[in-house]
Chains A and B, each alone.
Chain A
Amino acid sequence: MTPTTPVLTLENVTKRYGGNTAVDDVSFTVPQSSIYAVIGPNGAGKSTLFSLIAGQYPADQGRIILNETDVTKYKARKRARVGISRAFQVAHVFTSRTVEENVRLALLAARRQTHKFWISAERQQPREAVDALLAQVKLSSVAGRTAGELAQGDRKKLEIAMGLASHPTLLLLDEPTAGMTPEETVTVIELVASVQKSTGCSVLITEHDMKVVFGLAEQIIVLAAGAVLCQGTPDEIRNNDDVKAVYLGGR
Chain B
Amino acid sequence: MSDKATTPPIPDGPSRSWMAHLAAPENRVLLVRTVGIAIAVIALLFVFAEATAATPPSFFFEIILIQVLYAMSVNVLIGYAHLPSFGQAAFFGTGAYAAALSIQGVPLYASLMIAMGFSGLLALLLGLLAIRTSGITFANVTLAFGQMLYLVAANTNLVGGENGLLATIPSEITPQYLWLLIVVCVVGGCALIWWIFKTPYGETIVAIRDNPERATSLGVSNFRYRLTIFVFAGALAGLAGALYAYATGIVTADTLYWSRSGEPIIMCLLGGSKKFFGPVIGAITLTTILQQVGQGSTGYLIYVGGILLVVLILLPQGILSIPARVRELLKKRRPGPSGEGERTAAA
Contacts and interface: CB of A to CB of B under 8 A. Distances in A.
User: Do any beta carbons of A and B sit within 8 angstroms of each other in the complex?
Assistant: yes
Contacts of A42: none
A162 interface: yes
B219 A120 contact: no
Interface stretch (A63-71, A130-138, A213-221, A240-248): A63-71
B132 interface: no
Nearest to B34: A120
Contacts of A125: 200
Contact of B220 (A68, A114, A120, A145): A114
Contacts of B2: 1
A39 interface: no
For chain B, which range describes its interface: under 10, 10 to 19, 20 to 34, or 35 or more residues? 35 or more
A119 B200 contact: yes
A92 interface: yes
For chain A, which range describes its interface: under 10, 10 to 19, 20 to 34, or 35 or more residues? 35 or more
B22 interface: yes
Nearest to B8: A167
A17 interface: no
Interface string A95-120: 11100010011101111111111111
Contacts of B207: 94, 97, 105
A152 interface: yes
B211 A77 contact: no
Given A117-B201, A123-B21, A166-B219, A110 B210 contact: no
B121 to A, nearest CB: 19
B216 A95 contact: no
Interface stretch (A18-26, A82-90, A223-231): A82-90
Given A123-B26, A167-B7, A1 B1 contact: yes
A96 B218 contact: no
Given A94-B206, A105-B204, A168-B7, A141 B22 contact: no
A119 B5 contact: no
B327 interface: no
Given A115-B200, A118-B18, A169-B5, A93 B218 contact: no
B203 interface: yes
> Which 9 A-B residue pairs are closest in the complex by CB-CB distance?
A69-B5, A117-B201, A109-B218, A92-B214, A80-B219, A148-B347, A151-B345, A94-B210, A114-B204
17 contacts: A80-B218, A81-B6, A82-B7, A86-B217, A93-B211, A94-B206, A94-B210, A113-B12, A115-B201, A117-B200, A117-B201, A117-B202, A119-B200, A123-B26, A145-B342, A166-B7, A169-B7
